[in-house]
Structure 1
Amino acid sequence: MSNPTEAFVPAPDGALWETVAPAKAGFDSERLKAAVAFAREQESPWPRSLYYPDGSYVGNVEWNERGPWTDIVGPVRERGGPAGLILKGGRIVAEWGDTARTDMTFSIAKSYLSVLTGIAFDDGLIRDVEEPVGKSVDDPAFAGPHNGQITWRHLLQQSSEWQGEIFGKSDQVDHNRQIGPGADNSRKGQRRELEQPGTFYEYNDVRVNVLGYALLQRFRRPLPDVLRERIMDPIGASQDWQWQGYSSSFVTIDGREVQSVPGGGHWGGGLFIGARDHARFGLLIGRKGEWNGRQILSRQWIERSLSPSPTLSNYGYLWWLAARPGLPSSSFSALGAGSNVIWVEPEQDIVAVLRWINGAQTDNFIDRLLAART
């Protein structure tokens, strides 16, 4: 075994993923054990079927969703139990639950869309994030006096104020939406007056799906294929993950039917993936796009992605940035309802993946993890 203090990357598909003892990785063993026990004990309150006994989908209940856009149009899969792992220097220092299980992951998919946008940028398919999307995507969705102003950056920072309907869902469904513990969604879905694109932040899944559609138009091939070829296979991810769209999200690209994929599981579908694959993904971003000596995604893109947005200081390009006292300023995360978390602290080369923890307890877990450092 090589020096446990050196950064390393795991072998492909989980094979021979080295572990390291907590003490050698700079953790107090008992405190780390307590942090893991906490994660296991604080299970998500969501039913494992993802449907409540009255037949209601968890998302519709979570976001107080009513009215004409509630239909579940993508696949839904029963979830597993609490699971996760912690990496230090690329090695596993702790692991619990079924980390290979390909569960739904909800809005963590948004951070994968961010990386796909980076590939398009690196390849020249997007010339400038400040350019209106309609300059390179000839589509009515990006035309007109309002939507024609929307840039790639606006979509990435959730400040686009895009207006319309795509795949049977209107942007209005997420007007007045709040997220996180204590969110008040009593007014969610009530139409409000739109602001100038780029001036107002709103967490809106329809507008993120518009980004996925725009990327499909630029790549001219299924986004899951691009992700597998350019990111997941090079970092040695499993072959088990899938990215599912909606029954309503098939579009014609160069004469063939292709499914556009969403940035979450709001109406079913989204990214079905295991915790170990998430950990590889987090490790790649924490190391500024480099994997085993190869630059897979440009440092420039990742640095832009992790820079504060003008409309929300703790949000980058579909990544959440450190936002409270006690967190390392360089840390960032991908977050999905349920709750699902990829938390990265690049300066210490730590990655933590959490599956199905009670979202109200995520910060408490991270505090415990940080307190376990020696």
Structure 2
Amino acid sequence: MKSNYFLILIVCLLISCKNNSQSKSNNANSNEIENLYFSTVDFTKAKISSEEYSKNFNLHNDNYLSIVFNLNKPLIQSLQELAPTLSEDELLSKGNFQFSYLVDGKLIYVENLNTGAGPKTRKTEKLRQVIPLVTPEQINFWGWFMWQRFMKINGGLDAFTEGNHTLSIEIKPYLRDGTLKVGPLLAKGNIAVEVPKIHIDENLVPVQKIQPNSGWEISKANFDNNKIEALNRKIAEGRFEDINGIVVIKDGKLLIEEYFNGAARGSLHNTMSVGKSFASTIMGITIKEKFIKNENTLLKDFYDLKSYKNYSPKKDSVTLKSLLTMSSGFVGNDNDEDSPGTEFKMQSSNDWVKFTLDLPMHESKVIGKDYNYFTAGSGLLGDIIHKSVPNGLVSYADKKLFAPLGITNYKWFYTPQNIAYTGGGIQLRAIDFAKYGQLYKNKGKWNGKQILTEEWVKKSLTKQVSRAYADAGEDGYYGYLFFNNIYKVDGKNYEVFFSAGNGGNKILVFKDIPFVVVITASAYGKPGNQVNVNKMMTDYILPAILEKQ
């Protein structure tokens, strides 16, 4: 009996050791999987074969980078393993590939690929996957945009310092069904990345001396020159793209004035949607002078809404305030290209006011509460002002805003009806945009004259509506065509209201510190343009000007 017992025990131990060995082997195979390959050939001219696989990539000199991997089974089958009870359509609406980017073994960025990215056949049939990441020019392919998000928004550029690195990409299936479920590794590969030294004109690095005749008193306050020079170097290297001007005002005096990429003090800068804030300003002056009663005035007081398409009684409740706060309830959202009311679709029409008033109302959105970034609505405000003031919007703005600020060099963008467009595009010198920001810092006063009422400035720079969950990546609050957010530097929060425009343009008016900052840029449509300007503020500009207060 004892001998049988020991025999059974030995057999069990052998089986257990074998299972443990297999488990370790399986885990090792999972960790050592190497079935993703890189290629630096021009994929538009040649089909990538194993002969074109590359072991090295030069970050600045190689124009192309693609990845190639082969699945053992279509992605849909891996998704089914994560949620066996879901149908194919349900799986495809909730899952896709997950990409993880590692530099020198450190995880830098994880992207759960949008479920709409890639055709259905790529997920249900294809085993061989070829994904372009880097090309000389922008392409309309999700892989290119994913690489841009990795590099420009989520740490890639900062991880690839000068020298030699290893880039690893890992691919898994993911499914978001209430919770995020991630499956086992499907593909993994590495490539050596060389980051050569960027040679720049060293004359671009030193802090630029403020030239005379700025129209500002020059500040004698100190700031950290080393941090500004470090920023200038990054701009010269292209780390921060297409930056054209930086102006810093402290206590109403000119502290820093820098220009790049061929810009100078006299350059007019197209700051895109920064121009929306001017609609708020001119509306405030119009109300101050009683050409419009107040911001609670109804849209229907200016237009016969029943004569436009998609009339509903809800339109009768739209106020000027709801247009100022991007909470009017119209079905329009510039951050959703499928929305019927985007700026692009409006500008493709012949009559931008009619386009806007023809839009339907959102059934569930609450007017005055639910935020959607709606350029057409801010353009509508310009038309309302134009109808309400003597001699039209342009003449009125010049007389009541620009002339008092001493701004003579500027340019409007116009609608097809030749009315100044308040949805964005007004061009000023960077140093004059700073005057505009300082007007708000001064609570509406300039050179002793009250251009805006303190009450209007306070309303404009108040958290009127929340932007949380309104759009992908958005948070903070919104005032009267001014954004609100927090910059964090060395563990301290600095609240700021600001105008913002495509390309990286910003006018920043800080609440509790004595600064106005203007950044003009022309990285129009490039991923991360706003994120990079925020990084300039938190890593360079604010540390430089706060440190020496």
User: Normalization by structure 1: what TM-score?
Assistant: 0.69
Give the alignment partner of residue 30 of structure 1, picking from 226, 240, 243. 226
1:49-98 per-position Cα deviation (integer Å, ceiling 9, x unaligned): xxxxxxxxxxxxxxxxxxxxxxxxxxxxxxxx622211112222221112
Contact 2:329 2:361 in 1 (8 A): no
1:199 and 2:199 correspond: no
Match of residue 249 from structure 2: 87
Structure 2: distance between partners of 1:221 and 1:328: 45
- Corresponding residue for residue 76 of structure 1: none
Q: Tell me what 2:534 maps to.
A: 363
2:405 match = 235
User: Which residue, 402, 422, 427 being the options, matches 1:262?
Assistant: 422
Partners of 2:361 and 2:312 in 1: CA distance: 20
> What displacement does 1:278 show?
0.3
Q: Does 1:160 align with 2:365?
A: no
Paired residue for 1:109, among 262, 275, 281?
275
1:342 and 2:510 correspond = no
Looking at structure 2, the residues matched to 31 and 37 of structure 1 have their Cα atoms a distance apart, in angstroms, of 10
- Give, in angstroms, the shift of residue 27 of structure 1: 2.0
Whether the 8 Å contact between 2:394 and 2:420 is mirrored in structure 1 is: no
Alpha-carbon offset, residue 153 of structure 1: 0.8
How far has the Cα of 1:340 moved from its partner?
A: 0.9
Q: Residue deviations 1:206-262, cap 9 Å, x none? A: 12111211121221433222222111111112x22011212x234xxxxxxxx2423
Q: TM-score, normalised by structure 2?
A: 0.48
Residue 394 of structure 2 is aligned to residue 224 of structure 1: yes
Q: 1:142-153 alignment to 2 at 5 Å?
A: 145-153=313-321
Change (3 A) 1:223 1:192: closer
Q: Compute the displacement of 1:321 (Å).
A: 1.1
SS in 1 for 2:459: helix
Task: Indicate how the Cα distance of structure 1 residues 214 and 293 shifts in structure 2: closer, same or farther if over 3 A, else same.
Answer: same
Q: Please report how far the alpha carbon of residue 134 of structure 1 lies from its aligned counterpart in structure 2 after TM superposition.
A: 2.2
Alignment length (residue pairs)? 291
Structure 1 match to 2:452: 297
Q: Which amino acid aligns with 1:244?
A: F
Alignment of 1:319-334 (within 5 A): 319-323=482-486, 325-326=488-489, 329-334=494-499
In 1, Cα distance between the equivalents of 2:380 and 2:388? Answer: 13
Rg (Cα) greater in structure: 2
Counterpart of 1:17 (choices 212, 216, 231) is 216
Q: 1:288 aligns with which of 418, 437, 443?
A: 443
* Separation (CA, whole Å) in 2 of partners of 1:359 and 1:26: 27
Provide runs of 4+ in structure 1 moved above 6 Å: none
Residue 335 (structure 2) aligns with:
none
Whether contact under 8 Å (2:486, 2:496) holds in the other structure is no
How many angstroms does 1:290 deviate by? Answer: 1.0
Q: Which gives a bigger RCO, structure 1 or 2 (Cα 8 Å, sep 6+)? A: 1
Question: Relative to total residues, which structure has the larger helix share, 1 or 2?
Answer: 2
Change over 3 Å in CA distance of 1:198–1:171 after alignment to 2: farther
The AA in structure 1 aligned to 2:227 is: R
Structure 1 residue 302: Cα displacement: 0.3
Identical amino acids, percent of aligned pairs: 24
Any unmatched runs of 5+ in structure 1? Answer: 1-12, 47-80, 165-169, 178-190, 251-258, 265-269
Secondary structure of the corresponding residue to residue 162 of structure 1: coil
1:94-115 deviation digits (Å, cap 9, x = unpaired): 2111232112110000111110
